[in-house]
Amino acid sequence: MAQITDEPVADEENDALELGRFLPYRLSVVSNLVSKAFARRYEAAFGLSIPEWRVMAVLGRYAPASSADICARTAMDKAKVSRAVARLVAGGLVSRKDNPLDQRQNVLALSRKGRGVYQQIVPLARAMEREVLETLSADEVRQLDTLLTKLHARAEAMAPGGGEGVD
């Protein structure tokens, strides 16, 4: 008969999960904290939510683009992208036109007003990135970039489709 004790089991697979050391949790927390800190800066100045800024960031770099393109590049779900696009269109920051090659899709781009807002936010984004990374040495920044690239590739392989549905 097995004896019941209060001693911890030496098998790591059966140990309680220490959430603060669990990689997916840590990545999520850091990402959320950085996004929220940045959002406070541009939400007050420009009235944009995190999803709206992400849509604008994609369009600022990759326009014209469809909502599906934005979902793929941001890993946001379709409903979140759709709501963000609708608010940006209503605010005059994004233009939406029918795709002549596929009537089921729209083609999105920044409007003149949206381009102006984008050009004001980009320096804020770069400054925020520098502020976050200033705690690391130049070598650590390079290592972080390498490691994140590797983790991204592995996560893509584990969850094909770019993580749609994640926000």
Cis peptide bond prior to 64, omega within 30° of 0: yes
81 pLDDT higher than 70: yes
Go through the domains of the chain in sequence order and give each one's CATH number. 24-157 (1.10.10.10)
Q: pTM above 0.95?
A: no
**How do residues 13-47 score in pLDDT, each as one tens digit?**
667 889 888 999 999 999 999 988 888 888 888 99
Instruction: Say whether 48 sits in a helix, a strand or coil.
Output: coil
CB-facing half-sphere around the CA of 38: CA atoms within 13 A: 24
- Residue closest to 64 by CA, chosen among 90, 96, 92, 112: 96
- Ranking 1-5, 20-24, 92-96, 112-116 by mean pLDDT, the lowest is 1-5
Return the amino acid letter for 23.
L
